Amino acid sequence: MLDPESLALKDILLAEGICTEEQLQDVEDEHDRTGKKFSNVVINYGFIDNEKLLELVASSLGTEVFDLKLQDVERHVIDMIDPETARAYGVLPVDFDGSLLRVVSKNPLNFQIAEELQFILGHDVIVLVADESNIETAIEKYYPTTMATVEDVLSEMDTTDQEFLNDEDIENAANETPIVRFVNVILFQAIKDQASDIHFEPFEKNFRIRYRVDGALYEMPEPPKNLAVPVISRLKIMSNLNISERRLPQDGRIELKIGGKPIDLRVSCLPTSYGESVVLRILDRSVVNLSLDALGMGQDVLDTLREMIHRPNGILLVTGPTGSGKSTTLYSCLNEINEIGEKLLTSEDPVEYDIEGIMQVPINEAVGMTFHKALRAFLRQDPDRIMLGEIRDLETAKMAIESSLTGHFVLSTLHTNEAAATVTRLSEMGIEPFLICSSVVGVLSQRLIRRVCPHCKESYEPTDEELERMRVSREDVGGRKFYYGKGCQACNLSGYKGRKAICELLVMTKGMTDMISTNASTAEIREKAASEGMRLIRDDGIMAIMNGETTVDEVLRYT
C-alpha cells in the first residue's frame, strides 16, 4: 500500500515515460513485500539513477536540486529550525532572505511538510530537493546529538540518603530535574542501543538497571540505592500509574518521542521484598522491519509460507517459547497479505504495532474481552483473514477451527517447543484429529538466535569437540570456515549484532493427515514430517553456522 508521496512519484514516473504501469506494479509489489522506500526500489530496478530522479522531482515541483556537499549553511539559518523539528520532519534549512525560508526535505513530495513548517515558524517555506543520505549527514553535522551519558548524570546527582515521609514527598522527588534527567538518559541510551526491555531492580543493598539487546541482558552503571524509590516513582508517574499502590502489580504505558521517532513503552510494576521491580518493554516501530524477507528464514521455507498465507482458508500456527519472535512473524505475514481487497482483523494482548489498513482489537480480560469473545464478534465483521494473538483454551481453538472451515484464514500462536508437538497439543486440548487435519495448513516453530557481529567477525577451523556437539562430520562441513565475533564497540563487546530466525515448517500433506488421524505421537509426527522434507530446527541452525551467520554455542543454546 503506497503512501501519498510514493503515489505522487508514481504519477511523475508515468507522466515522464520513465516506467510503464506494469513496471511500476513490480516496484510496488517489491515495496510492499520488503518495506523498502518506493523511490529506492525504482533506483534499484535500474529504471533511473538517483541524480536524474532528484532532477525529475525538482522539475515537477518547479524547484531546484540543492547540493549539500558543495554548500555550507550559515549558523543563523540553521537556528531557524530547532533540532527536534528538523529530525521529526527530516528537513534542513539552507537559506533565509528575511521572509522566505528555503529547506531541503527527505520527503519533498509530502506537501504537508511545508504547510506545517509555515505554521510552526511563521514564515513562508519553499522545499528544495536534495539527496536523502546527504540530508541525514547534514542534520547530524548541524544538529549533533550531545546527550549526556548515564555516568555523567550520576556524577552530578546528590547521592545522600533521603527519607520519604509520605507519597507527596516521593512525588516531589520523582519530579525533580535530576531524577527526570536521569530517567530520560536511561531511556535514550537503551533505545539508541536498540534494547527490547529495560529492567529496574531494587535489592537490599543496591539498585540495578539492566537492558536487553538481542536477547541478552547488559548492566548499566549502577545508581545509588537511594535513587530506587524516586526513579521508579518517576516511571509510574510517566505511565499514569498509582504511585501510592505498592502492594499489587500494575501495568501501564508511556508514549514519547525520541529523536523525532514515536516510541511506545509497556510498563509492568511488580512488588518485591525490597521495593517495586519495573520492566519496560520498548516498542520502536522504526527499527522493526515487518517483512518476511527480513526474518532470515531459508528461501524454501519462505516460499512455502508465502503460499500458505495466500490461501483463502485454513489455520497457520506459529509456535515457540516467549521471546522467539512469534509476534514479529505474525505481523510480517499480515503485512504481506494486507491488500485493499482483503478485510483483516486482529485480536492482540496487547496491540504491539499499529498497521495501517488492519482493524486491531486489544484484549482486555479484566472487562471480559477475551480472545474467544473477540473471535466470535469478528465473524460478524465480514473478515477474510483473522489473527489471534494466542490460542489459550479449547473454546478459542474450536472457534478458530470453525472460522477456518467457514471460509476464513486464521493466523495464531501456541506455546509449544516444536512443530510436531503442536498437533498433539491440540489433541490434548480436546480437538478431534479429523478437525485438525481439515483446518490446519501448517505449523511454523521458531527461535531467535544472535548473528555474529559483521564488524569484528573472524573465521576459524571448527574443533572436533564442536563437530561432535553438532553431530556432524568434517565431511559434512566440507572445508567451510566457522565464524565468531571478537567483540567490538559496535556489538557492545558481545561478538553478536542482530538476530535471525531459525525454524521448522510442518506442512499438512496427505501423508501427514493420514498419520494424525491415527492419533500418532509427537515423535511419529516429527519423523514423518522429516521424511517429507521438513528441516528440523536444529538442522536449520546448523545451516546458519555453515553459512557463517552465527556460532555453535548460539545454536546449541536454543535447540
The amino acid sitting at 400 is A
List the grid coordinates of 364: 482486555
**What's the CA gap between 411 and 440, in Å, rounded?**
10
Weakest-pLDDT range from 261-265, 412-416, 484-488: 261-265
Of the pLDDT bands very low, low, confident and very high (cuts 50, 70, 90), residue 485 is very high
The mean pLDDT of 196-204, rounded to a whole number, is 95
Query: How far apart (Å, rounded) are the C-alpha atoms in residues 382 and 372?
Result: 17
CB 457 within 8 A of CB 519: no
- Mean pLDDT along residues 412-422: 93
Q: H helices within 45-102, ranges in order?
A: 50-61, 75-78, 83-89
Model pLDDT for residues 309-352, shown as the tens digit of each residue: 999 999 999 999 888 889 889 999 998 999 889 999 999 888 88
C-alpha cell at 331: 505481523
User: What are the DSSP calls for 304-361, one per residue?
Assistant: HHHHHHTSSSEEEEEE-STTSSHHHHHHHHHHHH--TT--EEEEESS--S--TT-EEE
Q: What pLDDT score was predicted for residue 157?
A: 56
Mean pLDDT over each residue of the chain, to the nearest integer = 87
- Do 429 and 457 contact (CB within 8 A), yes or no? no
Read off the pLDDT band of 523 (50, 70, 90).
very high
Residue 266 and residue 189: Cα distance in Å, rounded? 17
DSSP 116-181: HHHHHHSSEEEEEE--HHHHHHHHHHHS---PPPHHHHHHHS--S-----SHHHHHHHHTSHHHHH
- 289 pLDDT more than 80: no
Query: Per residue in 332-344, pLDDT tens?
Result: 999 899 988 999 9
| Residue in 454, 456, 533, 557 with CA at minimum distance from that of residue 216 | 557
pLDDT at 204 over 60: yes
Phi, psi of 519 (to 5 degrees): 60, 45
